[in-house]
Amino acid sequence: MPVVIAVAVPHPPVIVAGVGQGREKDARRTVEAYREATRRIAELEPQTIVISSPHTAMYLDYLHVSPGSGARGTFARFGDARDGSRVTYDEELVRELCRLARDEGLSAGTRGEREASLDWGTLVPLHFIEGAYEARRRAGEEVAPYRVVRMGISGLSPRDHYRMGRLVQRAAQALGRRVAYVASGDLSHKLSADGPYGYAPEGPVFDELACAALGSDDLLSLLTADPSLCERAAECGLRSFQIMAGALDRTAVDAELLSYEGPFGVGYGVAVLTPAGPEGEDASRALDARYDAWHREDMKRRRSEEDPLVRLARASLEHRVRTGKRMAPPDGLGAGLSSRRAGAFVSISKNGRLRGCIGTIAPARGNLAEEIIANAVSAGLHDPRFSPVTERELPELVYKVDVLGEPEPVNGPQALDPRRYGVIVSAPDGRRGLLLPDLDGVDTVDEQLRIAAGKGGVDLGEPGVRLMRFRVERHS
C-alpha cells in the first residue's frame, strides 16, 4: 500500500518545549499521544512524509503544493528561534502530483507561493517526527532519511480536498513510494469563554463529531459536516482531514483516537489510521462516490425547502447568467413581495463559504420583489470581492435573503447583540459600514463593530461615529 500510515495531529506551538517554557505540561496527553503517533511513523520508515497544513499558502479556488528543493523554518515568532526544521522536498512526487491534478482537472499545483519558510502547522509535526527519528538513532538503529511534500488547503469543496488526497495516493503508487500522511490541524478554537477565541456552543459539538470520525474511521462524516457548524466552531483542521481521507481512498484502516483535550480553549486531537486487511481496493471505502450521492440529496433537499424569497433570488441570478437579461418579477408573488417595500440583502454561498453578498439598507426599488431580483444579480456578478458567478457554478449555490427592519439609533455597544441585531456604523462625512446579524464566526459585539467599521472605512475611535441597530427577517 502506498500510504502506510496516516495521522491527524494538532499544531499548537506551545506544546514545543522551547516555546511553551513549561506550559506544554498543561497539554500532557497531547504531547504523549503525539510522541506515540510519530514513533509509529518512524518505525515504518516512509520514504516521503506528506503534510497538509492550514497555515501555508491558501487560496479560495486552488490547492497549493510547495515548490522547490526544500525549505526551513523556526519558531522565532513564538519566542524560540533555536528550534526549527530544515526539509528536503520530494520534487519527483510533487511533479507527479501536479501532473495528475492537471489531467484530472483539479485546481492544484505549485503556483503562487507567498512564503517559502515552513509554517507552524508544518513545524510542530516535524518537531515530533524528528524527535522520534532521533530516538531511534540514539538507540543505535540505522534510520533511512525521508523527504517531505507540503500542501495547503483551500475554499474548494470537500470532494475536491478528498480528490487531492486520492492523487497523493496515486502519485505514490506510480512512483513506488512508501508515504506517511500527516493531516495537521487543530479542532475548535471556541471551547472556553476564557480562551483566546472565546466560547461558542458549536465548538464542543464539532470536536465530538471530529473525534468520533477519526476514532472510528467514519471519514465520510468529515466530508458531510455542516459548514455553518464548522464555521461557528472556528475549526482549523477539517479540510486537512478531508485530504487525508482521500489519501486512504478504497483502503480499509484501523483507526485509533490516541488523545483529545482542550487545555487552552482549543481542541487538540491525535489520531492514527493504519491500513488494515489484504492488499487491494476495498470498494466500500470509495467515499467520493458516497459523498456525491449524499451531496445530490442534500442539494435536492435544500431546493425543496427554499421559501418564495429565496426561490426568487435564485431564479433571478440563474436567469441573468444564462440569458444575459434581467428577469421581470413573475406574476402571483403575493402582497408580501409585490406591495411591500424594504431593504434586503442577498447572500450566496458555495461549499459553505461566502460567494457574494450585496444589499440595500433602505428600499431603492418599487417593491421587495424588485429589490431581491436586483440584489441577487449584484451579489452574484458585481460583488468586488469575488469573480462573477459562472453558469457551471449555479447548481452548487445556496442562497439566503435578509429583509431589513427599520434601523434605530443606539447609545453604545451595550445595546447591541450580534445574534439578534445587525449594526450600521456611520461617520459624519457619510462613510458607513453594515454587518448583518447572526453570522457564522461573529460571536461578540467587538467583532461585529470591527468588521462593520472596516467595511465602511470608519475608525471607531474618530469623533462623531454613530451606531444603529436593526433586525432582519431571514429567509433560507
Looking at the structure, tell me whether residues 391 and 422 fall in a common domain: no
Query: For position 87, which CATH number holds?
Result: 3.40.830.10
**Averaged pLDDT for residues 290-309:** 94
Looking at the fold, whether 147 and 252 belong to one and the same domain comes out as yes
The answer to whether the CB of 118 falls within 8 A of the CB of 85 is: yes
pLDDT digits (tens, 9 = 90+) for 414-456: 999 999 999 999 999 999 999 999 998 888 999 999 999 999 9
Domain limits for position 458: 405-476
The reported pLDDT for the residue numbered 279 is: 65
The confidence score (pLDDT) of residue 205 equals 98
Predicted local distance difference test score (pLDDT) of residue 333: 84
Answer yes or no: do 358 and 458 share one domain: no
pLDDT of residue 352: 87
Rounded to whole angstroms, the Cα distance separating 380 from 220 reads: 30
Q: What is the pLDDT of residues 210-229, one digit of tens each?
A: 999 999 989 999 999 999 99
Q: Mean pLDDT across the stretch 163-181? A: 97
Are 385 and 416 found together in one domain? Answer: no
Q: Residue 280 has what pLDDT?
A: 60
Q: Are the C-beta atoms of residues 66 and 95 closer than 8 Å to each other? A: no
Residues 88, 62 share a domain:
yes
Question: For residue 259, which of 25, 33, 37 has the smallest C-alpha distance?
Answer: 33
Which H or E run contains 404?
strand 397-404
Whether 377 and 460 share a structural domain: no
Q: CB neighbours of 235 closer than 8 A, spacing ≥ 6? A: 185, 186, 187, 188, 189, 206, 210
Q: Which of 92-106, 140-154, 437-451 has the lowest mean pLDDT?
A: 437-451
Query: Quick one: average pLDDT of 231-239?
Result: 96
Global pTM? 0.90
Q: In this structure, are 64 and 143 located in the same domain? A: yes
Q: Are residues 344 and 430 in the same domain?
A: no
Query: What's the pLDDT at 440?
Result: 86
Nearest to 127 by CA among 14, 230, 283: 14
* 239 part of a folded domain: yes
Helix ranges restricted to H, 68-176: 91-104, 120-138, 158-175
Domain count for the chain:
3
70 three-class SS:
strand
pLDDT of residue 405: 94
Average pLDDT over residues 21-33: 97
Q: Which residues, 6+ apart, have CB-to-CB distance to 252 below 8 Å? A: 275, 276, 277, 282, 285
Output the domain CATH number for residue 440.
3.30.1490.150
Q: What local confidence, expressed as pLDDT, does residue 278 receive?
A: 65
